[in-house]
Amino acid sequence: MKVAVYPGSFDPITNGHLDIIKRGAKVFDKIVVAVLINIDKKGLFTPDERVKLIEKAVCDMDNVEVVSFNGLLIDLLKERNSRVVLKGLRAVSDFEYEMQMALMNNKLDSEIETVFMMTAAENSFLSSSSVKQVAKFGGSIEGLVPDCIIEDVINQVKR
Ligand code: ADP
């Protein structure tokens, strides 16, 4: 079974992330979405809350699992019997950082491949931080995040 791990902060999941998950789920037998726990960076949602929001957004997909993880990505891959990291690319600006990460993971374990999927054009401007900004100042986030989590995001920025 070909398992790919899709890592990120997902604070919160956007339609850009969901598009990559959906497309990835057609290419691989299973996608493990991994919410990375960054103790230095406090997000809008806790890692557990982010996992729950992603689970809500992918509830109709039976080959997607959502986990949170702390530590090296290659260790999670081993634990999950996976050799593939799935990533989305929005713009040239993502490229340098993603290349560095892909090369580092491959250096740590030469069996690991990173597979990049191009963003859908309509999502190329979308990021979790821009969604948070828009929601914070009362703008509409319809079409930016999965419909089923819109209320959760709006309620959370108000707190
Ligand atoms: P963000 O930059 O929105 O905070 P993350 O750090 O959670 O996103 O990103 C996780 C992964 O999803 C990365 O591979 C990132 O390039 C990809 N990604 C983020 N937003 C989009 C998008 N709009 N379209 C395609 N891929 C995306």
Widest Cα–Cα separation across the chain: 46
Q: Is the per-residue pLDDT at 39 higher than 90?
A: no
Specify the pTM.
Answer: 0.94
Q: Does residue 151 form part of some domain?
A: no
CATH number of the domain that 29 lies in? Answer: 3.40.50.620
Q: Does residue 145 form part of some domain?
A: no
Domain that holds residue 10: 3-124
Which residues is 7 bridged to in the sheet?
34
Q: Does residue 133 form part of some domain?
A: no
Mean pLDDT of the 88-100 span: 88
Cα→Cα distances 28→22, 56, 64, 138, 150, Å: 10, 21, 10, 38, 28
Angstrom distance (rounded) from CA 32 to CA 41: 23
Instruction: Compute, in angstroms, the gap from residue 8 CA to the centroid of ligand 1.
Output: 7
Angstrom distance (rounded) from CA 8 to CA 85: 11
Q: Does residue 147 form part of some domain?
A: no
Instruction: Compute, in angstroms, the gap from residue 9 CA to the centroid of ligand 1.
Output: 8
* Confidence tier at 159 by pLDDT (50, 70, 90): confident
Q: Does residue 42 form part of some domain?
A: yes
Please write the tens of the pLDDT for every residue from 110-158.
999 999 999 999 999 999 999 999 999 999 999 999 999 999 999 999 8
Q: Work out how many domains the chain is built from and give that number.
A: 1
Residues in contact with ligand 1 by the CB-under-6-Å rule are 8-10, 14, 16-17, 20, 87-90, 94, 119, 123, 126-129
pLDDT at 91: 81
Q: Does residue 150 form part of some domain?
A: no
Instruction: Compute, in angstroms, the gap from residue 41 CA to the centroid of ligand 1.
Output: 17
Q: Does residue 109 form part of some domain?
A: yes
Mutate to test the pocket of ligand 1, among 20, 22, 89 (most ligand atoms within 8 A of CB): 20
Q: Which residues are catalytic?
A: 17, 41, 90, 128
Please write the tens of the pLDDT for every residue from 40-71.
888 999 999 999 999 999 999 999 999 999 99
Quote the tokens at residue 49. 């809350």
Per DSSP, the three-state class of 111 is coil
Q: Does residue 141 form part of some domain?
A: no
